[in-house]
Structure 1
Amino acid sequence: MNPATAAVRDQVSAEEWQLRQDLAACYRLVALSGWDDLVFTHISVRVPGPEHHFLINPYGLMFEEITASSLVKVDSECRKVIDSPHPVNPAGFVIHSAVHAARPDVQCVLHTHTMAGVAVSAQRDGVLPISQQATFVLASVGYHDYEGVAFRPDEGPRLQADLGRNTFLVLRNHGLLTVGRSVGNAFLSMHTFESACRIQVMAQSGGAPLTAVDPQIIAGTREAMRVQTGGLGGDFVWPALLRRLDRLGHNFRD
């Protein structure tokens, strides 16, 4: 273990260190999936405890560079809790802090600016019921209108209301957001969200009429997901995703 890693690990609990590894892995997987936007967008994790502390990316590092020890621990105002040589982006935390404040059931918030996600977010009808992936999204999705670059705290209450108790949020003209009770859940939800958007854009590009899924099927997708993953959701696939990173030689655990 290198000195920088040891210095951070000695200051945090075993539970937080595990969360740091999972969050660093999530950043690597987002980059590996091609969902990153250079150093922009964020993934945040709530640290257990009454202090309302969070982990977020060191601003300026590519997602493929992020490690467990380089993640920055901040409070609800995005002020550093543990000294770090890395800067943070308070403006980027506005969306995340609003979600975490309204959803104590949520551990991870994942936000992207992918081409397909932004394309669908700009469409008046949003996510269309034209794929199996879309059915999972449509069972728990909200929409938030674009208000410019999200750095004003007063946008928070409107964003909270638009998210509600949903798992998926379309940020109009901006991108996609998912929440999860774990990092694995937020990642699997984003994988489904992004797939639904890519399929939609590809299907529309064909120019042929599209076939919609029966609304009754959409109503049953929550139970279908529970059965498919043995009730574990994203935690079912998360260990396999970590093994993939290990095979590729990613040092996210440092």
Structure 2
Amino acid sequence: MLDKVKRESIYQPEQPGLKFPEVPVFDTPALERRHRQERLVAACRAFALEGLDYGFAGHLTVRDPERPHLYWTNPMAVHFAQVNLSNLILVDHAGKVVEGDYAVNRAGFVLHAAVHEAHPDIVAMCHAHTVYGVAFAALGKKLEPITQDAAVFYEDHVVITAEGGKVAVEEGAGLKIADWFKGVKAAIHQNHGLLTCSRHSIEAAAFWFIALERCCRQQLMIDATGIAPKLVPPDKARYSREHVGSEYIGWLHFQPIWGRLVQTQPDMFD
């Protein structure tokens, strides 16, 4: 009889010795910093592949492991597809660039800095102006559990109405939004778009953003039929969220994206 290995998720193999992604453990803050930087770059590249760019809009952040009051983010006015290790910037909660040559996105600083400062447990955060997420945000309602995929956000996202549709360039706007992120991984900001966060990794935050955009697209397609969908019942939606909506699963979903990017876009590490 095979010995069972300790698992965080039912998706992890019970049989030992099989190839399967493992959450890394770091011996030094420097190694963890490099890891977070590389995955931040990969998350930006993944957003480019998904067509989630819109001019200079869109900002992804991850805390520095040694200096948690600072966070790494993509540079202002650089396309997601051109983000690499050398053009990342390190920013404090006041919006000052501590390391790097590029300016910070003002709206990104206002929103992300407020959330990072108010929630020390949040490691990473993503926001972009996407076609379906922005369209769905105009409805001012939560995503329904219309599918197993959508169920991962059941009771795990909020609709934020404060400052909806107003460009977030004043610091007070970020403070009004930050409180909404208690205990959830995603938010739909009315008339603005989608935001995701993670207490685990930038990989999880990025994948759940991609997933939320996809679910918004599906919801809009179903709504366009004029036929009321059959919803996943609450107990089954919670069951699906528990097993396929965790931070770990978000991280795991990102691993094949990472593998593809490493092979096809080696300039990420320039």
So what's the TM-score if we normalise by structure 1? 0.87
Residue 76 of structure 1: aligned partner = 93
Cα distance change, pair 156–39 in 1 and its aligned pair in 2 (3 A): closer
Residue 119 of structure 1: aligned partner = 135
Question: How far did residue 51 of structure 1 move?
Answer: 5.4
Residue 102 of structure 1: aligned partner = 118
Name the CA distance, whole Å, in 2 between partners of 1:236 and 1:175: 25
Residue 173 of structure 1: aligned partner = 191
Residue 47 of structure 2: aligned partner = 30
- Unaligned 5+ runs, structure 1: 1-11
Residues 1:134 and 2:153 aligned together: no
Please point out which of 219, 226, 247 is paired with 1:200: 219
The AA in structure 2 aligned to 1:161 is D
Residue 93 of structure 1: aligned partner = 109
The AA in structure 2 aligned to 1:116 is Y
Name the CA distance, whole Å, in 2 between partners of 1:116 and 1:142: 17
Within-5 A mapping of 1:41-52: 41-50=58-67, 52=69
Cα distance change, pair 249–92 in 1 and its aligned pair in 2 (3 A): closer
Please point out which of 238, 241, 261 is paired with 1:219: 238
1:81 aligned counterpart, secondary structure:
strand
Q: Do 1:39 and 1:63's aligned partners in 2 also have CA atoms closer than 8 Å?
A: no
Question: How far did residue 143 of structure 1 move?
Answer: 1.4
1:31 aligned counterpart, secondary structure:
helix
2:87 aligned counterpart, secondary structure:
coil
Which range moves more in the overlay, 175-184 or 132-141? 132-141
Name the CA distance, whole Å, in 2 between partners of 1:125 and 1:71: 34
Residue 6 of structure 1: aligned partner = none
Residue 8 of structure 1: aligned partner = none
Which range moves more in the overlay, 50-59 or 91-100? 50-59
Question: How far did residue 218 of structure 1 move?
Answer: 2.1
Name the CA distance, whole Å, in 1 between partners of 2:142 and 2:30: 42
Name the CA distance, whole Å, in 2 between partners of 1:237 and 1:116: 21
Question: How far did residue 50 of structure 1 move?
Answer: 4.2
So what's the TM-score if we normalise by structure 2? 0.82
The AA in structure 1 aligned to 2:102 is H
Aligned identity (percent) is: 29
The AA in structure 2 aligned to 1:208 is I
Name the CA distance, whole Å, in 2 between partners of 1:113 and 1:51: 27
- Unaligned 5+ runs, structure 2: 1-28
Question: How far did residue 219 of structure 1 move?
Answer: 2.4
Listed one character per residue, the Cα deviations across residues 38-58 of structure 1 (whole Å, up to 9, x for unaligned) are 221100111013451111111
Residue 148 of structure 1: aligned partner = 166
Please point out which of 61, 77, 80 is paired with 1:60: 77
Cα distance change, pair 70–36 in 1 and its aligned pair in 2 (3 A): same
Which range moves more in the overlay, 59-68 or 36-45? 36-45
Listed one character per residue, the Cα deviations across residues 162-218 of structure 1 (whole Å, up to 9, x for unaligned) are 222110101111100111120111122112211210100111122223222212222
Question: How far did residue 89 of structure 1 move?
Answer: 2.1
Q: Do 1:20 and 1:69's aligned partners in 2 also have CA atoms closer than 8 Å?
A: no
Listed one character per residue, the Cα deviations across residues 74-102 of structure 1 (whole Å, up to 9, x for unaligned) are 111121112x3322223321110111112
